[in-house]
Amino acid sequence: MSHARAINVRKSESNLCAVNGRQLVHNDSSIWPWQTYRSSDITPPYLQINRSSEELAPGLLFIGPENDATQAGVKQVAPFILTDESELVWGGPEGDSSNFRQQFWGDKSVITFWVGTGKAAYGADVGRGWGEVLILDESYRQIKSVCLQLNLTLPEGTTTDCDADVHESFITDDNTILLTAYNVSRADLSSLGGPSDGWVYDSIAVEVDLETNEVVFSWSPLAHLSVNATHIPYAGSNSTSPFDWFHMNSIQKYGDYYLINSRHVWQTYLVNRQGDIIWYIDGHDGGDFGGLPENGQFSWQHMARIHNISSTQALLSYFANDLNTANGTVPSKGLTLRLTLPPSSVHPPEVITDFWDYENPVSSAAEGAFFPLANGNTLMGYGDQPYIKEYGPSGKLLWSAQFADYNLGQSYRAYKQEWHATPSTQPSLVVTSISVEDDLHECAGPSSKLRGYVSWNGATDVTLYEVYAGADIKSLQSLGKIERKGFETKFSLPVGSHVVQVAAVKDGEAKKSEVIHV
């Protein structure tokens, strides 16, 4: 018996057709338009995109949208992987997901993000958190939880199981991970007009062996620097709200050295394994490197990263916020300086990049990312403002996206990375019957009222789905293959399809959904 007879349909009456199943929702509230699907309950933001005709860097976008502390700006707070055309690739577990990105743990490509078990990264103790870093493999299975335990003193009323802060979770070539941690400490604040025995945050740099969980390095700024180096005005503190004079927000390792950045002191330090400061650069006067050019000064900066290191020079990049108030209008920029090594005031830093959008400047008072891409472009995530932009090598704006209304959404950092994954889960399939004509009516034929919706959360390299249908499970046979159309593919089904199954096809192998009884 032929397949068409088994499901009681003539092929001339029904074609196997497919379209993108995504729907956009905008309910005129403060929440930015979001995407919905029949086969999944994930609701990522819809990126409002502007782009030039020039080539973009390959890769997928990694963002962890959060809401404003007082008003919801995004429908779902979760880590998302999206294409630069706003197609969802993966939606992760609901909740904060600071510093969501792809990394390598040895030869394993993984994704990592922070989740909070103490206070949130925003809210009552804005800018800090206590929690763990999750590591997922290429099938999205959790293979590690980095639960730092340092016996910290926490702000009064705060409890947590794990001590990692939101700001850094950098896996090194030594199979260690760099973390920030915030400890409540006593300090002399008399030079700032405070008490001689006051309360401060000591933001600590920590390196942890990923195999043994052993702490192999830690560095306390309070042990090496004076609190009066801060640019934050002192306005009182106590054991519940300590004074955050340093605010460490990025750590990077190269060789036996650590690059440690302070937002509130406007300085970045090179520290050796013994904890000694080898050199520092200051955003106002250049520090050990001599005077900075006018467009090379920086303040309140994030994501300090050193690149292209030789014995005589290196590049140092920042997301330079250059303001500390949400009411500011100073444009934040992607700054790269060429440093002479060892530091010399005779050869001060040179500005290599000073990227910002001249037509639509963004002023970001907190958070942010400046991420060089493999083709010479650069991705900038604007932290506490809901914008992401890709610039060409000369600083020309090539692509920009918005995922929430101004001041109502944020993502601590944003990345664009090449990520390949095959989920351990099955593809998700839903079958429904339509009552009015839809976007498949003309192709499918007037008698075809059944529609299937299939998605496979996290699959990156699937281009085809094979559709099976029949009158019953025994007669389930292939109807043919359809092209994958974004995160969710909507397709037509012939009359007489009482059981349906779909297989995602990748490299000649298939992963099947459950059988759906119609």
For residue 436, the domain's CATH number is 2.60.40.10
The span from the CA of 98 to the CA of 134, in Å, is 11
What is the CB neighbour count within 10 angstroms for residue 211? 11
- Tens of pLDDT, residue by residue over 47-76, are 999 999 999 999 999 999 998 878 899 999
Convert 464-477 to b/e letters by CB count within 10 Å (16 or more is b): ebbbbbbeeeebbe
Preceding amide of 427 cis, omega within 30: no
The span from the CA of 442 to the CA of 452, in Å, is 16
∠ Cα 456 23 67 (to 5°): 85
- Tens of pLDDT, residue by residue over 358-379, are 999 999 999 999 999 999 999 9
- Tens of pLDDT, residue by residue over 183-228, are 999 999 999 999 999 999 999 999 999 999 999 999 999 999 999 9
Give a yes or no: residue 371 inside a domain.
no
Give a yes or no: residue 508 inside a domain.
yes
In this prediction, residue 512 carries a pLDDT of: 97
- Tens of pLDDT, residue by residue over 272-303, are 999 999 999 999 999 999 999 989 999 999 99
Contacts 24+ apart (CB under 8 A), 355-360: 355/380, 355/391, 355/395, 356/331, 356/332, 357/331, 357/389, 357/397, 357/400, 359/397, 360/400
Give a yes or no: residue 156 inside a domain.
no
pLDDT at 11 over 70: no
The span from the CA of 170 to the CA of 205, in Å, is 11
∠ Cα 492 493 498 (to 5°): 150
Residue 4, phi then psi, degrees to nearest 5:
-60, -40
DSSP H or E segment with residue 6: helix 3-6
Give a yes or no: residue 419 inside a domain.
no
Closest CA to 117 of 143, 82, 69, 149: 149
- Tens of pLDDT, residue by residue over 458-510, are 999 999 999 999 999 999 999 999 999 999 999 999 988 999 999 999 888 89
Please identify which residue in the block is written with the tokens 């006018």.
294
The span from the CA of 495 to the CA of 477, in Å, is 14
Query: Which whole-number Å values give the CA distances from 321 to 235, 250, 280, 384, in the listed order?
Result: 22, 14, 19, 10
Give a yes or no: residue 485 inside a domain.
yes
In this prediction, residue 69 carries a pLDDT of: 76
In Å, the largest CA–CA distance within the chain is 91
DSSP H or E segment with residue 133: strand 131-136
Give a yes or no: residue 232 inside a domain.
no
Please give the structure tokens belonging to residue 9. Answer: 């349909």
Give a yes or no: residue 370 inside a domain.
no
Give a yes or no: residue 499 inside a domain.
yes
What is the CB neighbour count within 10 angstroms for residue 53? 5
The span from the CA of 473 to the CA of 514, in Å, is 12
- Tens of pLDDT, residue by residue over 319-328, are 999 999 878 8
What is the CB neighbour count within 10 angstroms for residue 15? 16
Distance of CA 2 to the CA centre of its chain: 50
DSSP code string of 39-93: S----PBPPEEEE-SSPPPSSEEEE--EE-SSS--SS--S-EEE-TTS-EEEE--
Please give the structure tokens belonging to residue 503. Answer: 């297989």
Distance of CA 176 to the CA centre of its chain: 20
The span from the CA of 211 to the CA of 196, in Å, is 42
Domain count, the chain: 1
Q: How far apart are the first and last CA of the chain?
A: 22
Question: CB-based burial of residue 7 (10 Å sphere; 0-12 exposed, 13-18 middle, 19+ buried)?
Answer: buried
Which of helix, strand or coil describes residue 288? helix
Q: What pTM was estimated for this model as a whole?
A: 0.95
In this prediction, residue 117 carries a pLDDT of: 67
Pairing type for strands 488-493 and 516-517 reads unpaired
Q: What is the mean pLDDT of residues 391-419?
A: 97
Residue range(s) defining the domain that contains residue 477: 3-20+426-517
Closest CA to 503 of 489, 494, 492: 489
- Tens of pLDDT, residue by residue over 127-143, are 888 999 999 999 999 99
DSSP code string of 390-431: EE-TTS-EEEEEE-S-TTSEE-S-EEEE------SSPPEEEE
